[in-house]
Structure 1
Amino acid sequence: MVTAVQVEAWCLRALGSGTLAEVDSEAGGQMSQLFRFDSDERGPCAVKVRPEGWERVSRCLQLQAIAADAGFPCARPMTDAARLGPGMVVSAESWRSGGEMHVDGDVRFADRSASLLADLAAILEVESPRGLGAPPPWMYWNPPTRSLWPPNPIADAMDQDRVPAHVNAIARAASKRLAATSLPLVVGHGDWESQNLRWKDASPWAVHDWDSLVALPAAAIVGAASGAFTSTAVPTLASLEASEEFIDCYERTRGKVFTSEEREIAWAASLWPALHNARGESLFQSPPTALQALTSQAPERLRRAGIR
Structure 2
Amino acid sequence: MPRRPVVDSGRLARWCAEQLGSPPADELFRSGHLSVVVGLRLADGREVVVKIRPDAPRIAACVDIQRRMFQAGYPCPRPLTGAVPFGGELATAEAYVPGGAMLPGTDDPAASFAEALAWLIRLAPRPGEVPALDPAPSWNHGGDELWPRSEEDPDADLNQRPGASWIDEVGRRARDRLRVGGSDVMIGHGDWLAGNLRWNEDSLLVVHDWDSMIVESEDVLVGFAAALYSTGGGADERATVEETERFLDAYGRARGRKLDADELQRAWAAGLWTLAYDAKYQHTVGQPVTVLTERQAGERLRRAGLRTTPPRRRPSS
Q: Which category of TM-score, normalised to the shorter sequence, fits these structures?
A: 0.7 to 0.9
CA 1:131–1:22: 2 relative to 1, 3 Å: farther
Alignment partner, residue 257 of structure 1: 258
Paired AA for residue 117 in structure 1: L
1:107 touches 1:241 (CA, 8 Å); kept in 2? no
Paired AA for residue 278 in structure 1: A
Alignment partner, residue 30 of structure 2: 24
Matched, 1:108 2:108: yes
Counterpart pick for 1:70 among 62, 69, 72: 72
Whole-Å separation in 1 of the counterparts to 2:68 and 2:227:
27
More divergent stretch after superposition (206-215 vs 275-284): 275-284
**Matched-pair identity in %:** 33
Following TM superposition, by how much is the alpha carbon of 1:33 offset from its aligned partner in structure 2, in angstroms? 0.8
1:107 touches 1:245 (CA, 8 Å); kept in 2? no
Alignment partner, residue 99 of structure 1: 100
1:190-229 matched pairs, under 5 angstroms: 190-229=190-229
Alignment partner, residue 39 of structure 1: 42
Paired AA for residue 72 in structure 1: Y
Whole-Å separation in 2 of the counterparts to 1:196 and 1:157:
25
2:14 touches 2:23 (CA, 8 Å); kept in 1? no
2:52 touches 2:92 (CA, 8 Å); kept in 1? yes
Q: Look up the SS of the partner of 2:162 in the other structure.
A: helix
Alignment partner, residue 52 of structure 2: 49
Counterpart pick for 2:149 among 148, 151, 165: 151
2:193 touches 2:235 (CA, 8 Å); kept in 1? no
Whole-Å separation in 2 of the counterparts to 1:198 and 1:165:
37
| RMSD (Å), alpha carbons | 2.5
Paired AA for residue 121 in structure 1: I
RCO comparison, higher one (Cα < 8 Å, 6+): 1
State the Cα deviation string for residues 249-296 of structure 1 (Å, max 9, x = none).
11111112223322221110111221122112323332332133xx11
State the Cα deviation string for residues 82-130 of structure 1 (Å, max 9, x = none).
12223x21111111111121399x9822111111111111111645365
Paired AA for residue 68 in structure 1: F
Whole-Å separation in 1 of the counterparts to 2:242 and 2:284:
29
1:16 touches 1:40 (CA, 8 Å); kept in 2? no
Following TM superposition, by how much is the alpha carbon of 1:131 offset from its aligned partner in structure 2, in angstroms? 1.4
Q: Look up the SS of the partner of 1:307 in the other structure.
A: coil
1:235 touches 1:277 (CA, 8 Å); kept in 2? no
Aligned residues: 296
- Structure 2 segments unaligned to the other structure (5+ residues): 308-317
Larger Rg over CA atoms: 2
Superposition TM-score, scaled by structure 1 size: 0.87
CA 1:39–1:234: 2 relative to 1, 3 Å: closer
Matched, 1:9 2:8: no
2:147 touches 2:159 (CA, 8 Å); kept in 1? no
Following TM superposition, by how much is the alpha carbon of 1:165 offset from its aligned partner in structure 2, in angstroms? 1.1
Whole-Å separation in 2 of the counterparts to 1:225 and 1:75:
20
Paired AA for residue 19 in structure 2: A
Whole-Å separation in 2 of the counterparts to 1:47 and 1:93:
7
CA 1:166–1:191: 2 relative to 1, 3 Å: same
Alignment partner, residue 278 of structure 1: 279
Superposition TM-score, scaled by structure 2 size: 0.85
Paired AA for residue 35 in structure 1: V
1:188 touches 1:215 (CA, 8 Å); kept in 2? yes
- Structure 1 segments unaligned to the other structure (5+ residues): none
Whole-Å separation in 1 of the counterparts to 2:90 and 2:187:
21
1:100 touches 1:198 (CA, 8 Å); kept in 2? yes
Alignment partner, residue 312 of structure 2: none
Whole-Å separation in 2 of the counterparts to 1:97 and 1:130:
30
Decide which structure has greater helix share.
1
Whole-Å separation in 1 of the counterparts to 2:101 and 2:157:
36
Following TM superposition, by how much is the alpha carbon of 1:132 offset from its aligned partner in structure 2, in angstroms? 0.9
1:15 touches 1:42 (CA, 8 Å); kept in 2? no
